[in-house]
Structure 1
Amino acid sequence: MSLQRQIGFWLISLAVFVLFLVLLRDVLLPFIAALALAYLLDPLADRLERLGMSRLAATIFILIVFLLVFVLSLVLLMPLLGQQLAGFVARMPEVAAKLQTLILERGAPLLEKLGGDKLAQDAQNSLGNLVGEATKWVGSVLQSLWSGGTAIIGVFSLLVLTPVIAFYLLVDWDRMCATVDSWLPLDHRDTIRELLSEMDKAIAGFLRGQALLCVLLGTFYAVGLSLVGVNFGALIGIISGFLSFIPYVGSLTGLVLSVGVATVQFWPEWTWPLATLGVFAAGQFIEGNILQPKLVGDSIGVHPVWLMFALLAFGSLFGFVGLLLAVPLAAVIGVLSRFALRQYLASNIYHGGDVSKSPEARKRVGADV
């Protein structure tokens, strides 16, 4: 098969795959979640197999332990988080209004000195509109999470179908990988295997490390804010940890919410809002200097800006399923882009027809995409 026909074949395959995701995005979530779960648990199943357990027994043992931990976490956390979530939603307009009043009371004299009454009035109107829009946005996000997550997809599909699908995938994981490997084109098998290995290393390193990072950060923020005494501290902390898989978004969201709530709650005392700020400063220091290098490092090889773009783009195209697929697809695109760049740097196109002028170009690796 000529190069042009091979390129055409893979482009058509990619288009069919994207069309498949678009058409079936509303029912893919339990399958994507099960695939991710099986992918993350496969190394543990392999280790248990090496210890003498059969694949079936290892899979059953792993999933039972996982489900027990998951159910126990729900039983322990859901009453507290449900109560705090209900209180947060109910009091959010009140907190926003009080925060707006505090800002205007403290900032109005300065604005009047700088630009007169008109500037102060304009600032008041702008701040009121901003707070109102932010409140509506948070409410719409919570509503969309409920309607889009449970009404459309259904709790049944997530809590029941996902473990069942994950069980079958985990049992047959090695067999499926061997089957896919046998389908690789013979002429390019070694190159494709090398690329797949690089993708696997990037995705696995990021997902496993980032998942643990989110859990640790969420626990730290929840405990820290609760000790400070911030209302809804556990809820805000867990939300911050969950959103930490998006660079800077989790910490920034938690910081704004917690400092705003603490300011309204403890006003005019500044000690506790500053303590709240200190919790997030400590969390950022621990994340940047200890957790991130140890757990994640540079495993994914994707720049944070590209990662945020991928999350927004795939989330916009495919909804929550797109958010789940964004990081793996970003890693895949990054690996393929670096491979294409290496090929270009070693080609006649780059060297003007004489590759031998720069033999070291074949060893050059492009920067992170």
Structure 2
Amino acid sequence: MTLPVRDQLKYWGIAALIFAVVLWFLGDVLLPFVVGAAIAYFLDPIADRLERAGASRTLATAIITVCTILIFIVAALLVIPTLVQQTSQLVQTAPDLFQNLQNFLAQRFPEVLAEDGVFRQTMTSLGQTIRDRGGELIQTALTSARSLISVLLLFVIVPVVAVYLLLDWDRMVARVDELLPREHAPTIRSLAREIDDTLSSFIRGMGTVCVILGTYYALALMAVGLQFGLVVGVIAGLLTFIPYVGAIVGGVLAIGLALFQFWGEWIWIVAVAVIFQAGQLIEGNVLTPKLVGDSVGLHPVWLLLSMSVFGTLFGFVGLLVAVPVAAALGVIARFLVAQYKGSRLYLGSTDTAREGGDDAA
């Protein structure tokens, strides 16, 4: 006998509550497993393609693991040290940049920077705060034993979890399918496919776009000689998943740094601006249409809201699960709206629905 809808809602509500409580209390413990699961989900299509090419699942996983290790070694040897060095230098030179900005404003707009003016005091305080707090943050991150252990655990546990989940991904999906309530299995499968399409379009598509644009910005800015080009490129690439934010933040930061570094050499300042304009053209006309598509279904405001809420409630783990949960809630909301529009609650009685159709005709 089928359970009443009220009882079903009660049980699913209890399950959601248990999930939230577990996430609340075990967020730090679950972090490596959530990251590993995200990596396995991201790489699963590559493993499926290798399987279709004739490789076994074990061989496909081994190929992906070896390639990933090689990429990580190259990044650890070439990119990460430079990134850390430039970030530290940027934090240390922030007061000098603000001082140069003050000097520029003092020459052009002397009335703005009175000796005891609010703007001058704010700029001085902001630059000093960035240097002090930024230095403290880097020093704490590097010297804290707890942070070091956490980082080591991430580097050890995450790859292991990702490899095992990638190896058993199809079997896990089949196992979960066996546990679905038989009465609602077709509907759940349909919703799951739609959620997967949304997630794959956004996470895999936008993740690839972020990597491509971040690499492009970093290499191009370093090629024109911008002092902190790698840092700016990484920041712009990471923020690309929010439409226009990556280009605006990265562009403002890069052009601001270029003004101080290349003041008087306008060709290089224009070159930095052209780099970000070209990046926007490439993203809008080539990368996003090809890799993401138009049917993602995640509005930027909805995405930011979910990340803010889950980040505040559950910390960094909340930020990681915010996108999948937002995608799932969006798909479920569209499904409920479709069900509502087909129900008598929306259509009314048969006679009312028929009269409404006649009036529309």
TM-score (structure 2 length as normaliser): 0.87
Work out the CA distance in 2 between the residues paired with 1:153 and 1:252.
Answer: 36
Question: What amino acid maps onto 1:217 in structure 2?
Answer: L
Question: Residues 100, 168 of structure 1: CA spacing in aligned structure 2 closer, same or farther, 3 A cutoff?
Answer: same
Question: Residues 149, 32 of structure 1: CA spacing in aligned structure 2 closer, same or farther, 3 A cutoff?
Answer: farther
**Following superposition of structure 1 onto structure 2, how do residues 187-266 of structure 1 map, counting pairs within 5 Å?**
187-266=183-262
- CA shift for structure 1 position 137: 7.3
Work out the CA distance in 2 between the residues paired with 1:11 and 1:267.
Answer: 60
**Following superposition of structure 1 onto structure 2, how do residues 200-349 of structure 1 map, counting pairs within 5 Å?**
200-349=196-345
Name the structure 2 match of 1:366. none
Work out the CA distance in 1 between the residues paired with 2:200 and 2:139.
Answer: 32
Question: Residues 340, 105 of structure 1: CA spacing in aligned structure 2 closer, same or farther, 3 A cutoff?
Answer: farther
After superposing the two structures, state which structure 1 stretch, 168-177 or 5-14, moved more: 168-177
Work out the CA distance in 2 between the residues paired with 1:143 and 1:358.
Answer: 72
TM-score (structure 1 length as normaliser): 0.86
Question: Residues 148, 105 of structure 1: CA spacing in aligned structure 2 closer, same or farther, 3 A cutoff?
Answer: farther
After superposing the two structures, state which structure 1 stretch, 157-166 or 270-279, moved more: 270-279
Question: Residues 346, 103 of structure 1: CA spacing in aligned structure 2 closer, same or farther, 3 A cutoff?
Answer: farther
Work out the CA distance in 1 between the residues paired with 2:174 and 2:10.
Answer: 26
Name the structure 1 match of 2:41. 39
Work out the CA distance in 1 between the residues paired with 2:57 and 2:310.
Answer: 35
Match of 1:79 among 74, 77, 81: 81
Match of 1:166 among 162, 169, 176: 162
8 Å contact from structure 1 (residues 30, 162) kept in 2: yes
- CA shift for structure 1 position 127: 4.7
Percentage of matched positions with identical amino acids = 44
- CA shift for structure 1 position 133: 6.1
- CA shift for structure 1 position 233: 0.9
- CA shift for structure 1 position 139: 6.2
After superposing the two structures, state which structure 1 stretch, 271-280 or 35-44, moved more: 271-280
Paired residue total = 355
Work out the CA distance in 2 between the residues paired with 1:276 and 1:358.
Answer: 63
**Following superposition of structure 1 onto structure 2, how do residues 77-226 of structure 1 map, counting pairs within 5 Å?**
77-109=79-111, 121-128=117-124, 151=147, 154-226=150-222
Residues 261-308 of structure 1, C-alpha deviations (whole Å, 9 max, x = no match): 111222244443333222212212221222111111234201111112
Residues 180-230 of structure 1, C-alpha deviations (whole Å, 9 max, x = no match): 111111111111110000001110121111111011111111122112221
Question: Residues 360, 52 of structure 1: CA spacing in aligned structure 2 closer, same or farther, 3 A cutoff?
Answer: farther
8 Å contact from structure 2 (residues 32, 157) kept in 1: yes
Work out the CA distance in 2 between the residues paired with 1:248 and 1:16.
Answer: 37
Work out the CA distance in 2 between the residues paired with 1:99 and 1:355.
Answer: 72
Residues 59-85 of structure 1, C-alpha deviations (whole Å, 9 max, x = no match): 222212222222222212123223222
What root-mean-square deviation, in Å, do the aligned CA atoms of Structure 1 and Structure 2 show? Answer: 3.0
The SS at the match of 1:235 is helix
Work out the CA distance in 1 between the residues paired with 2:154 and 2:43.
Answer: 18
Question: What amino acid maps onto 1:22 in structure 2?
Answer: W
Gaps of 5+ in 1: 362-369
Work out the CA distance in 1 between the residues paired with 2:191 and 2:289.
Answer: 24
Name the structure 1 match of 2:50. 48
Question: What amino acid maps onto 2:270 in structure 1?
Answer: L
Work out the CA distance in 2 between the residues paired with 1:343 and 1:221.
Answer: 46
- CA shift for structure 1 position 96: 2.1
8 Å contact from structure 2 (residues 98, 124) kept in 1: no
- CA shift for structure 1 position 5: 0.5
Gaps of 5+ in 2: none
Question: What amino acid maps onto 2:344 in structure 1?
Answer: N
Name the structure 2 match of 1:3. 5
- CA shift for structure 1 position 128: 4.6
8 Å contact from structure 1 (residues 314, 322) kept in 2: yes
Question: What amino acid maps onto 1:195 in structure 2?
Answer: L
